[in-house]
Structure 1
Amino acid sequence: MQPHTLAIWNLIAAWAGLLAGMGAGAVVGIFFGSEDFAGGYGSWPRRLMRLGHISFFGLAVVNFMYYFTTVALPGPLSRYEGQLPGQLPGVLLIAGAILMPTVCYLSAWRAGVRHAFFLPVGCLITGVGLTLIHIIGVLS
């Protein structure tokens, strides 16, 4: 089966997320051996850096799942296939995968940026919710 239209970008985002997670881990991992790096293990900056690093991997898995869901479904994911409403879940999942580590790392740098977490969280909740609604619609 073929993936639905723009879902190929979710596959690309998933692989890019894995690569970015490995790169981020390699760069920051150089300094993790130091007890006082970024304020110490339990400090806000270091916790947010760990969260940003792991979010690359977790959200890569979410984008893989979206891609393979579109491949596995017997019909279009939405009656709006090929139009923005039909593509919105995939677009939101990619946006969340970009925004989450970005907000994590920026929050590690400036704690006030934490107020922007509603952006990636909103994208991801909406993307997953719309995907679930579309799946139920296709299968019912």
Structure 2
Amino acid sequence: MRDVTRAWQAVGLERERHLLVAREGAKPVAVAILESGPPGTNPFGLLDSVRLFALSPRARLAYPALMDGARSWFAQRFRDVFTFLAEEPGDVEAAGLHDAAPDAKPALWLIPSDLASGFLEHIHEQTAPRPHFHPQKELS
């Protein structure tokens, strides 16, 4: 995402992606993809998001630690909110959403990733400027 980050920075906006990898010994078992966008420019913090992906059958055991790492990463960027885009059924429960990180407790807004694009379209439809309606007098 290096080129995208540079393009955003060239116009004074932030964009960043970071990977957290959970390992058993040297073997990766799960990964968290963390993304941040410019504060105040993305509805509901959807550009400030985390996604969890399994790389092994034991991956979900690492999800709570990855979410704790995500909380810390966003807190270091002064974000008090980020979105967890759950990729698979059961990911929310496996992530063990809890408040065990007293120094970094961003709020989480949960949405299944397959609903995110439809939700954004709905937000756009509800908030897009509308032309002003000026009823014309009926000519007699």
Bigger radius of gyration: 2
User: Is this a same-fold pair by TM over 0.5?
Assistant: no
Which structure is higher in strand share? 2
The TM-score normalised by the length of structure 2 is 0.30
The TM-score normalised by the length of structure 1 is 0.30
Which structure is higher in helix share? 1
